[in-house]
Amino acid sequence: MRLFRRLLITGLALALALAPVAAPPAAAFSRIKDLADVEGVRDNMLVGYGLVVGLNGTGDSLRNAPFTLQSVQSMLERLGVNTRGAKLDTKNVAAVMVTASLPAFASQGSRIDVTVSAMGDSKSLQGGTLLVTPLLAADGEIYAVAQGPIAVGGFKAQGDAAAIERGVPTNGRIASGAIVEREVPFQLASLERMRLALRNPDFTTAKRIQDAINRMLGSGAAIATNPATVELVLPSRGAGDIVALLTDIEQLRVDPDQVAKVVIDEKTGIIVMGSEVRVSEVAIAQGNLTIKISETPQVSQPQPFSENGETVVVPRSDVQVDTGGDKKLAIVNESVSLRSLVDGLNALGIGPRDMISILQAIKAAGALQAEIEVM
């Protein structure tokens, strides 16, 4: 009897040890660095107007682009060349808009990349050089100056009867083509409070970020003031300590929450659904009426040496009708997940276009517990 009990206990222990353990679903933890931006640490947009020279006959035609003509004349006058009243007909110059992004804390003398785009009827900027172009911000101040040869990714070749074009030859880029002349003042170390701006505002995510920071720094260090902002109370530290503190905060991991949403792009037939999308119990049927008509005309000729016969064309039509009888009515159970919903619709043989209509119909019936956003 004792031997039997020992064998039974050993067998149960072995069975429990070998039994697969269902692992809990893994949460999609993300760093705060990937969920929020620090207030004040941002880029600034710069824009400028300039001229590109050295083009091989692919520049603006000065008759159709008067702003290019005026810019060329103004530039030459500043260099001591008077061209007023002269008829200029060069095609090696193009008027362009220059754009750049000034990074946060960019120091004076550092370099940034710029993008050059044609304004007039220039056919290509390949081989051109941008002349000195001031770059202004929204306040009207000059923050950088750009100049240099343009790298164009596209090209265009044309003959008398054919032409080929790849990419966009009227848009180019100058790597490290602008020098920063003015810094954007921002004293990070002097801040007593700082805000984190969530890239996807959500009450739950803001609360989880607040709790994660408070667990590290102590209660009251972070306060979620609204679904898009978490306010930090910074201790009195030096500049290096503030950077180290923000580095530690950015590395904290949080499980972000999201609203149940279905995003539809009707132009391309793309459907993106969040993992929280749920569907109440609903029945779905999908079928299309397809009519196919094939014409195979035949030629009827008279017998050889007949006196009254004529050659005629006899029409032959084949009409086929597909009512979609193989499509069946399917029932989607209550509160199914995203994967079950997609698998069920795919089992009906439904393509993306029809799936868009079905999702909108389910939403109209009140069975789709999600928000539909049509792009």
* Domain identity same for 279 and 340: yes
What is the spatial distance between Cα 255 and Cα 202, in angstroms, rounded to a whole number? 12
Q: Which residues contact 205 (CB under 8 A, 6 or more apart)?
A: 35, 198, 227, 254, 256, 257, 258
What is the spatial distance between Cα 244 and Cα 250, in angstroms, rounded to a whole number? 10
* Domain identity same for 101 and 149: yes
* Domain identity same for 246 and 278: no
* Domain identity same for 144 and 198: no
* Domain identity same for 238 and 268: no
CB 364 within 8 A of CB 284: no
pTM of the model: 0.67
CA 54 and chain centroid, separation? 35
* Domain identity same for 167 and 51: yes
DSSP 3-state of 353:
helix
Burial class (CB in 10 A: 0-12, 13-18, 19+), 220: exposed
* Domain identity same for 237 and 279: no
Name residue, tokens 């079950």: 340
Least reliable range by pLDDT among 107-116, 149-158, 173-182, 283-292: 283-292
Tokens linked to 128: 């051109």
* Domain identity same for 219 and 321: no
Tokens linked to 12: 């149960």
Tokens linked to 310: 């004529």
**Which of 284 and 46 is assigned the larger pLDDT?**
46
Which of 180, 214, 235 terminates a domain? The answer is: 180
How high is the mean pLDDT of the chain? 79
* Domain identity same for 290 and 352: yes
59 part of a folded domain? yes
Count the alpha carbons within 13 Å of 340 in the hemisphere toward its beta carbon.
14
Q: Which domain holds residue 233?
A: 193-254
Count structural domains, the chain: 3
pLDDT on residue 12: 38
**Which of 27 and 198 is assigned the larger pLDDT?**
198
**Which of 100 and 68 is assigned the larger pLDDT?**
100
* Domain identity same for 58 and 152: yes
Tokens linked to 100: 């750049």
Task: Name the band, by pLDDT with cuts 50, 70 and 90, for residue 66.
Answer: confident
Identity at 125, one-letter amino acid code: L
Q: β-pairing, 36-38 with 111-118?
A: unpaired
